[in-house]
Amino acid sequence: MSESDALVAAARAARQHAVAPYSGFRVGAALETAAGIVFTGCNVENASYGLTICAERVAMFKALSEGHRTFTRIAVVADTDAPTPPCGACRQILWEFAGDIEVVLANLERITATHCMRDLLPYPFDGRLL
């Protein structure tokens, strides 16, 4: 049992709610706050395609909108052998609001990779540059 197992289980459960009729690619995410509260998200697609939002950003925006500001880890789950890392837009958002958190990637059976945000988004643009 890894300490990320419960977070990964939450991401797998969230993936069940994915709204992905266009891509068929269902993703779940679970974001842990410093207080140990977990916010989940799934990808939500729509007919415009371009207004699709990824599971990671749904989880983060849910947490932020509930007043949470400090985070420790995020788990991302897809039904693939290869890990599904956060897209560029999600990396930007995760970096700005969560900083150098752990990113646990998993599929329906196992954890496939673990990274830290500073490696996923080297040389970031963020508020320190404004």
Instruction: Determine if 70 is a binding residue for ligand THU (CB under 6 A).
Output: no
In single-letter form, the type of residue at position 45 comes to: E
Of 38, 55, 77, 104, which lies in the binding site for ligand THU, with binding defined by CB under 6 A?
55
User: How far apart are CB 72 and ligand THU at their closest, in Å?
Assistant: 19
Q: Does 125 bind ligand THU (CB under 6 A)?
A: no
Residue-wise burial string across 41-79, b where 16 or more C-beta atoms lie within 10 A, e elsewhere:
bbbbbeeeeeeebbbbbbbbbebbeeebeebebbbbbbe
* Strand pairing category for 102-106 and 111-116: antiparallel
Q: Choose between 41 and 129: whose C-beta lies nearer to ligand THU.
A: 41
Query: Taking CB under 6 A as the rule, does residue 103 contact ligand THU?
Result: no
The least CB distance from residue 118 to ligand THU, in Å, is: 18
Whether 109 sits among the annotated catalytic residues: the reply is: no
Cβ 59 to ligand THU shortest distance, Å: 10
Pairing of strands 71-78, 102-106: parallel
Residues that bind ligand THU (CB under 6 A): 20, 23, 25, 27, 43, 45, 52, 54-56, 76, 84, 86-87, 90
